[in-house]
Structure 1
Amino acid sequence: MATHFHKKPNLYTTHVQLKVSDLKRSVEYYTTIIGFRVLKQTEEIAYLTVDGVSSLISLIEVKDAISPQGFTGLYHFALLLPTRTDLGNIVQHFIQHNIRLGAADHDVSEALYLNDPDGNGIEIYIDRPEQQWTWNRDGLVHMTTEQLNFQSILAEADGKWDGLPTDTVMGHIHLSVSDLEKTEEFYTQVLDYEVVCRYGGQALFVSTGNYHHHIGLNTWQSNGRPALPDDAAGLKSYTVVLKDETYADSVKNKLQSAGYLVEQQTEELLYSSNPLFSTVDPNGIRIFFTIEGN
């Protein structure tokens, strides 16, 4: 796993907040099936970890939450495993638990897809070595969707499944958006992402540092749809790491100049991550910004 894509100065996602309808059920799912451990838990929120120090996911209970379908928000969050052996081990684990999976070979990566009990999308993947990625003259990376070779992946498993590896990271986040053009403008002109792949006129992928994507954006199920309401399950927020305070001030100024509300954070909202400020993107999706990270 190439670790530099998820370190400063790249704009990588470090934490995702999810709203769930039944915290006990979701904690059971994310620990037993996905392989997280609980870092901290109250009656309404659980912080999930792989390393015992920081939290990649927090689950927030919303009583009687409605379905997230039909709104903007999360398409999936993506957990990046360190090795192909780790991917083989989690495939074996899913088979043992009779978990229904989607899967794809994207050329740059090999990926599994599933949904949590509230319909929140999850991708679990490994990257192929970056030297094997294909970039064209326009600076776009080749990504495709082909059948995944499960036999080859299972052949590399060693049967040592003991939950998610401690160096698992949040590889990327993929968002369902309402207006692709306006969203592209926000992420590339207000924030400093670059478009690295386009799927027709309905999806694009952006990154920094020549990663295949730190954020995916699509309108497949959300074109013209409203923002996710507070009483729905789904994405509450995600957190992006900025390289330093000077750059954070620059991001804040660009947001304000473009007419986006910037809210200062006066209290710690995310366990082991202290956000400086937040904003809301054109799709009603909240983004926290922090300088705490690698």
Structure 2
Amino acid sequence: MNYHQPPHIYTGEVHLKVTDLDKMTNFYTEIIGFSVLEKKDKHVVLTADGQTPLLVLEQPESIVPKEPRRTGLYHLALLLPTRADLGKAIKHFSRNQIPLGAADHQVSEALYLSDPDGNGIEIYCDREPKTWHWNDDLVAMSTDPLDTRAVVEESGEDDWTGLPSGTVMGHIHLHVANLPNTKEFYEALGFKVVSRYPQALFMANGNYHHHIGLNTWNGADASRPTEGSAGMEAFTLIYPDESTLQEAIGNVQKLGETVKRLETTFVVVDPSGNRVILRLEM
């Protein structure tokens, strides 16, 4: 089952405001393994397959470093096609002496690191969905030690050559100020709670383990970042058809949220100040 294509609603490209565009571009190409799809003055679009935008970097005229303990991005999460790909990534990061966290979440195996601006990044592979354990509508997830040796062995003698073309934005995980009203917002957009952690919720469309993570680990009622702060500018949710998109727009408008129409997309801000771009599958 592919949870990142129609008929599902799923996560698309993430937009970051950065303090040093050249430094961040080098990091995301040389260390993370993206390639450049488009480059303009102060604006770079990155891709894994040479066609699909996954990450947009932009350096505003005036920018300050990412502010601590605010709402916003906890991490963006890149889903690799296979466990062998994750093994190759471990070898690559080890050779480049990149500090890593790692975890086995039952449903997936994951690596964690940060970019030069302090944005969190998860790079992971899913276990087969048939092995996930569901109790009614909730999926079992945990944070256990990752068997890195077994993951590396899966890759054999193959070396890392960058993000494989099948890489997608697997999910987005957000710092929020309030779980109940943010949950209601994303339910209106078409997602449901599939797992609960202390001070965190995980939501999905369809029976995925999560497309969206929400947490109050920066503190309940955490403040929004200032407009000139480095960090996430917006993230994208992709809808399979016009009727599903319009239903979501109507649902959030009923909550009193303002939806702004751009040329081919819509933009709405969640209760914690996170900007969400809504668009159709291209």
Is the pair's TM-score, using the shorter chain for normalization, greater than 0.5? yes
Once residues 23 and 274 of structure 2 are traced to their aligned partners in structure 1, the CA distance between those partners, rounded to angstroms, is 25
- Distance in structure 2 (CA, Å) of the matches to 1:130 and 1:292: 23
Q: Deviation per CA, 1:37-70, whole angstroms, max 9, x where unpaired?
A: 0111112110001111121000111344222322
SS in 2 for 1:239: strand
Q: Identity over the aligned pairs, expressed in percent?
A: 46
User: RMSD of aligned C-alpha atoms?
Assistant: 1.1
| Residue of 187, 190, 196 corresponding to 1:192 | 190
- CA deviation string 1:2-40 (max 9, x = no partner): 4x2001121101110011100000000000000000111
Native 8 Å contact 2:91 2:159 kept in 1:
no
* Aligned-partner SS, 2:232: strand
Select which of 36, 39, 56 maps to 2:37. Answer: 39
Provide the rounded CA distance (Å) in 2 between the counterparts of 1:64 and 1:212.
35
- SS of 2:58's partner is strand
Partner of 1:277: 266
Partner SS, residue 6 of structure 1: coil
Question: How many residues of Structure 1 are paired with residues of Structure 2 in the alignment?
Answer: 280
The SS at the match of 1:89 is helix
Provide Cα deviations, 1:91-134, integer angstroms capped at 9, x if missing partner: 00000100000000000000000000000000000000001100
Residue by residue over 1:259-279, the C-alpha shift from the partner in whole angstroms, topping out at 9 and shown as x without a partner, is: 10010103xxxxxxxx42110
Residue 267 of structure 2 is aligned to residue 287 of structure 1: no
What pairs up with 1:214-253 in 2 under 5 angstroms? 214-253=211-250
What amino acid maps onto 1:87 in structure 2? L
In structure 1, the residue matched to 2:255 is 258
Structure having the higher strand fraction is 2
* Counterpart Cα distance in 1 of 2:107 and 2:213: 14
How far residue 71 of structure 1 moved from its aligned partner, in angstroms, is: 1.1
Residue 8 of structure 2 aligns with an amino acid whose one-letter code is N
Structure 2: unaligned runs, 5 residues or longer: none
- Aligned-residue offset at 1:160: 2.8
Stretches of structure 1 that go unaligned for 5 or more consecutive residues are 267-274
Cα separation, 2, equivalents of 1:81 and 1:156: 14
Name the CA distance, whole Å, in 2 between partners of 1:225 and 1:219.
8
Please give the per-residue CA displacement for 1:122-174, whole angstroms capped at 9, x wherever unaligned: 0000000001100013x100000000001101111232311000010000000
Match of 2:174 in 1: 175
Contact 1:8 1:243 in 2 (8 A): yes
Distance 1:107 1:246 in 2: 35
Closer/same/farther in 2, CA of residues 17 and 222 from structure 1, 3 Å limit: farther
CA distance in 1 between counterparts of 2:36 and 2:53 reads 9
Q: Structure 2 counterpart of 1:173, which letter?
A: I
CA distance in 2, matches of 1:292, 1:229: 31
